[in-house]
Chains A and B, each alone.
Chain A
Amino acid sequence: MEIILIFVSAIFVNNVVLSQFLGICPFLGVSKKVGTAVGMTAAVTFVIAIATLVTYLLQKFVLVPLELEFLQTVSFILVIASLVQMVEIIIKKISPSLYQALGIFLPLITTNCVVLGVAIQVVSNKYDFGFAAGARMLGLGEALLFAIATAIGYGLALILFAGIREQLELSNVPKAFKGVPIALLTAGIMALAFMGFSGLV
């Protein structure tokens, strides 16, 4: 039951883009075609899952026992930056075709705030993720599930948005609204629609 709760909450109710405003830059930047949106989603899901695993272990077994929590931001971003680099090298070796498909998106993920955002969220005790039990630190399994669910929510918003933008390219938009403003308005209307999920959990 809790697993379903985590998924529904992270994908629909607290959608990472449309209600928490994380990862807006790639959301606006790489959402002009559905194909690139799918590639970006795959890369982000992959990196978020690994980054959450590593930063969770780092927080639990290094930073907390040594009372170095104030180094959280510095150490997490270093871990994420080097992980992205490592994942890039490994994918290049193991599956050149996947590497080709992900292309430029892999290195860009370092500065995607979804990754750092999720890593910080799962180790903080402030978020209750809609559990009746109240706020507490998540277990490793739950943390991973939350990370993957967040990535799926990110992908859902990104791919839906890309579909709308493909149509938008063909429509007649007032000159001052061209580009980013009309995209933001579209996202605003999508966010309104996603607000409909807010009673679910």
Chain B
Amino acid sequence: MSKNNKLQLIVDGIVKNNPTFVLVLGMCPTLGTTTSAINGLGMGLATTIVLILSNITISAIAKIIPDKVRIPCYIVVIASFVTIVQLLLQAYVPVLYESLGIFLPLIVVNCIILGRAEAFASKNPVGDSALDGIGIGLGFTIALTAVGLVREILGSGSAFGWKFVAGDGMLAFVLAPGAFIVLAYLMVIFRKLTKQA
């Protein structure tokens, strides 16, 4: 693959195959962890790290895994990396670990990761799989940060923790309904911008 194509792999993950806005995968963490821009960014990066590592590992061992047991094998690989990320976050960023809560172990059942393992990593060489992981992971991170930022601005009148409105914002946007509504409108804007609608 030429250098141009390699770059294309990453750009595709962010725009054409954006996991949140186009493929509509991994909705649970997208809605559940984006109460602020920082939380969205943290969840996005944690998922990206797991995605890159699992893509690399799975593409390296895909040939020796029997076809019938491949899904359980993939899940074990993914679950191991999730546990590693979980322990690292607990040790070094305990605040983020607390605020992501149950969604951290639930990265295991994030369909983006298993989906990329099955659709891309198991059929492509290690280098390309790593790039695919970076692209899709960045697309997911950007989407989560965007949802988190909008919810934080509307809901608490701050951006990345920097408060520019005194007092509370529109609390509904930090609570559950805001997540659905903000994601819906961002998805529409993304469709308009990329001329998909």
A residues contacting B by CB (< 8 A) are 18-25, 28, 70-74, 77-78, 81-82, 110-113, 116-117, 120-121, 124, 126, 175-178, 180-182, 184-185, 187-189, 191-192, 194-195
Contacts and interface: CB of A to CB of B under 8 A. Distances in A.
A192 B177 CA distance: 5
B176 A77 contact: no
A51 B21 CA distance: 32
A117 B82 CA distance: 15
Contacts of B79: 73-74, 77-78
Given A73-B82, A175-B197, A184-B180, 17 more contacts: A21-B31, A22-B32, A25-B25, A25-B27, A25-B28, A77-B79, A78-B72, A78-B75, A81-B75, A113-B110, A120-B102, A126-B101, A180-B184, A182-B184, A188-B180, A191-B177, A195-B176
Nearest to B22: A180
Contact of B28 (A24, A175, A180): A24
25 contacts: A18-B176, A20-B32, A21-B176, A22-B32, A25-B27, A25-B28, A28-B24, A70-B87, A72-B105, A73-B83, A73-B86, A74-B80, A77-B79, A78-B79, A81-B72, A116-B106, A175-B197, A176-B191, A177-B188, A181-B191, A188-B179, A189-B177, A191-B176, A191-B180, A195-B177
Nearest to A22: B28
B99 to A, nearest CB: 13
Contact of B108 (A20, A116, A181): A116
Nearest to A182: B184
Interface of B: 24-28, 31-32, 71-72, 75-76, 79-80, 82-83, 86-87, 101-102, 105-106, 108-111, 114, 172, 175-181, 183-185, 187-188, 191-192, 197
Given A120-B102, A185-B181, A189-B177, A77 B192 contact: no
Contacts of B188: 176-177, 181
Given A73-B108, A74-B83, A116-B108, A178 B197 contact: yes
Contacts of B111: 25, 111
A190 B192 CA distance: 26
Contact of A24 (B27, B172, B178, B181): B27
Contacts of A78: 72, 75-76, 79
B24 A180 contact: yes
A77 B180 contact: no
A31 to B, nearest CB: 13
B88 to A, nearest CB: 12
A1 to B, nearest CB: 27
B109 A180 contact: no
Contacts of B185: 181
Contacts of A21: 27-28, 31-32, 176, 179
Contact of A23 (B28, B114, B172): B28
